[in-house]
């Protein structure tokens, strides 16, 4: 039994990795970028300054604008301004569907800001894959479980797992790829296990809904109330009533929250006698999320319910979720998340590359050749597709209607074109071409950051330039290998 255990784990590691590898690669890369989603949103709004914005007047201005321009939306969801995101991010629905827009912190209107999802695209794509609910989240949950299985079986499968950490032999073909794979796996292994486990956990109710269904059956409102008793939900009465003055309500919430401040505001049934304003505290000094919630009666401003979470099971879940999204993280920790996320992405990429190298001996099958070609399309093409989002964000005219949709469309058009090119050409010729294209696209993002008058412009320019240099180096190595072949 012992003799068969490690080969079985190796087989499981290989196949769980290859079957979900491309999906895991894109999820890991988009998740890594979403570590800085507020900064990306600011970068894609050149008209925004990085001045400190007070959350109470900015949120009140947003609610005033929504009262006039979105009175029939069943609810308004607001993320209050922060030092990282000097705008109010609002989500509501209108005749065309759901709308997600940053709102001007002074006027509360979206008119002064270009229509773009900014960093929210990478954040949403990370767990929704641009697919309708619940399918995108379900697929992402399955990919997270498969990646967790791949990590665990990888630890078992590699005999010299920690010893190989100190070994890297460049220019040795498959041996070099395996050395790089081991190094990337070991150097940030605690992060890899944490981020994948917490990612799977956050979507766990989609994979295992039976416990929740057994207790609450067809009453999700009861489940939500038990999870957060401070968030009051009640049906609309159908009778009109204006909201009470919002600023005193938000000031009361701030006094109750203390130094954590306001993070989210939900106005349910706006303009109705049954309107409820639910305010959630931030988590600047704790890892866990959603620890303090207050609900106010919309027409009167009276407190309906207040809850501070102390239950061990819910607190544990909040901490695990907080570890994944890293809203608590100071600048240094966020950069560590970002670098470790890049390592996880590269770990998946080197694993996919190893799979094709190990099966390319002799005359490979058509399926192996196709996987090898698509590997080039996904691994070298995905960074270019994501870079096209940044490029489109600066090149599409700021006053063009539905420009946010066009930005996202640019990603998928670029992605599809690169995958098609990769599928039709030999992998040896595709790799250097796509790596050069990735380098050029990242360099373009760096140039579009000019005139670098904001800290976020400088940071993104430096990151993009570093990635461009890395892709250019990889392209050079690929060309040299092609010449010597």
Where are the domains positioned within the chain?
Answer: 1-44+117-218+320-327, 51-115+229-308, 359-485
CA distance 88 to 81: 5
Write the pLDDT tens digit of every residue in 370-403: 889 999 999 999 999 999 999 999 999 999 988 9
User: What pLDDT, on the 0 to 100 scale, is given for residue 485?
Assistant: 62
- Of the chain, the percentage scoring pLDDT greater than 90 comes to 68
Q: Are residues 122 and 407 in contact, defined by beta-carbon separation less than 8 angstroms?
A: no
Is pTM, for the whole model, over 0.85? Answer: yes
Give me the phi and psi of 266, to 5 degrees please.
-120, 125
| Residue positions counted in the chain | 485
> How would residue 280 be classed by pLDDT, with cut points 50, 70 and 90?
very high
Percent of all residues in the chain with a pLDDT value above 70, rounded to a whole number = 94
Cα 52-55-61 angle, rounded to 5 deg: 110
Q: Are 78 and 62 in contact (CB under 8 A)?
A: yes
Q: What is the pLDDT of residue 342?
A: 97
Q: What is the pLDDT of residue 92?
A: 97
Residue 9 has pLDDT above 80, yes or no: no
Q: What is the pLDDT of residue 201?
A: 92
The pLDDT-based confidence of 159 (bands split at 50, 70, 90) is: low
Whether the per-residue pLDDT at 315 is higher than 70: the answer is: yes
Instruction: List, as one string, the DSSP characters of 61-83.
Output: HHHHHHHHH-TT-SEEEEEPP-S
Distance (Å, whole) CA 470 – CA 435: 9
pLDDT at 169: 66
Q: Residue 247: which residues within 8 A CB-CB, separation 6 or more?
A: 56, 57, 60
Residues 164-200: tens digit of each pLDDT: 666 666 666 677 777 788 889 889 999 999 999 999 9
The pLDDT of residue 369 is 86
Encode burial over 231-244: b for 16+ CB neighbours within 10 A, e otherwise: bbbeeeeeeebebb
pLDDT tens, position by position, 53-85: 899 999 999 999 999 999 999 999 999 999 899
């Amino acid at each position: 039994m012992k003799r068969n255990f490690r080969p079985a784990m190796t087989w499981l590691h290989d196949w769980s990795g290859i079957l979900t590898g491309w999906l895991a690669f894109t999820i890991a890369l988009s998740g890594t970028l979403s570590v800085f989603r507020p900064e990306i949103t600011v970068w894609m709004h050149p008209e925004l300054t990085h001045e400190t914005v007070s959350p109470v007047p900015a949120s009140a201005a947003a609610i005033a604008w929504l009262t006039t321009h979105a009175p029939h939306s069943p609810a308004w969801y607001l993320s209050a301004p922060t030092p990282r995101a000097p705008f109010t991010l609002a989500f509501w629905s209108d005749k065309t569907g759901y709308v997600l827009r940053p709102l001007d912190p002074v006027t509360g209107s979206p008119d002064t800001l270009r229509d773009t999802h900014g960093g929210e695209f990478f954040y949403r794509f990370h767990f929704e894959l641009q697919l309708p609910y619940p399918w995108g989240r379900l697929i992402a949950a399955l990919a997270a479980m498969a990646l967790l299985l791949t990590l665990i079986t990888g630890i078992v499968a590699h005999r010299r797992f920690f010893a190989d950490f100190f070994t890297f032999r460049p220019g040795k073909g498959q041996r070099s790829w395996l050395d790089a794979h081991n190094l990337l796996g070991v150097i940030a292994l605690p992060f890899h296990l944490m981020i994948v486990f917490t990612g799977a956990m956050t979507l766990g109710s989609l994979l295992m809904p039976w416990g929740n269904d057994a207790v609450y059956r067809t009453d999700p409102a009861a489940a939500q109330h038990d999870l957060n008793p401070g968030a009051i939900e009640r049906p609309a009465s159908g009778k009109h009533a204006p909201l009470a003055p919002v600023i005193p309500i938000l000031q009361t919430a701030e006094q109750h929250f203390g130094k954590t401040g306001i993070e989210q505001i939900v106005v349910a049934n706006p303009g109705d006698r049954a309107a409820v304003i639910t305010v959630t505290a931030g988590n600047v000094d704790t890892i866990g999320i959603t620890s303090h919630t207050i609900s106010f009666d919309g027409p009167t401003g009276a407190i309906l319910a207040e809850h501070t979470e102390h239950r061990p099971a819910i607190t544990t879940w909040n901490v695990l979720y907080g570890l994944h999204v890293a809203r608590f993280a100071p600048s240094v920790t966020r950069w560590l998340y970002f670098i470790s996320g890049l390592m996880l992405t590269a770990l998946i990429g080197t694993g996919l590359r190893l799979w094709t190298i190990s099966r390319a001996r002799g005359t490979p099958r058509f399926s192996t050749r196709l996987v090898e070609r698509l590997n080039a399309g996904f691994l070298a093409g995905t960074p270019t597709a994501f870079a096209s989002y940044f490029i489109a964000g600066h090149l599409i005219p700021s006053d063009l209607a539905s420009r946010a949709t066009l930005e996202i469309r640019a990603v998928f058009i670029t992605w599809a074109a690169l995958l098609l090119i990769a599928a039709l050409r030999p992998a040896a010729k595709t790799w250097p071409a796509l790596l050069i294209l990735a380098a050029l696209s990242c360099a373009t993002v760096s140039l579009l950051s000019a005139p670098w008058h904001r800290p976020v412009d400088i940071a993104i320019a430096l990151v993009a330039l570093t990635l461009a240099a890395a892709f250019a180096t990889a392209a050079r190595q690929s060309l040299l290998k092609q010449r010597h072949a």
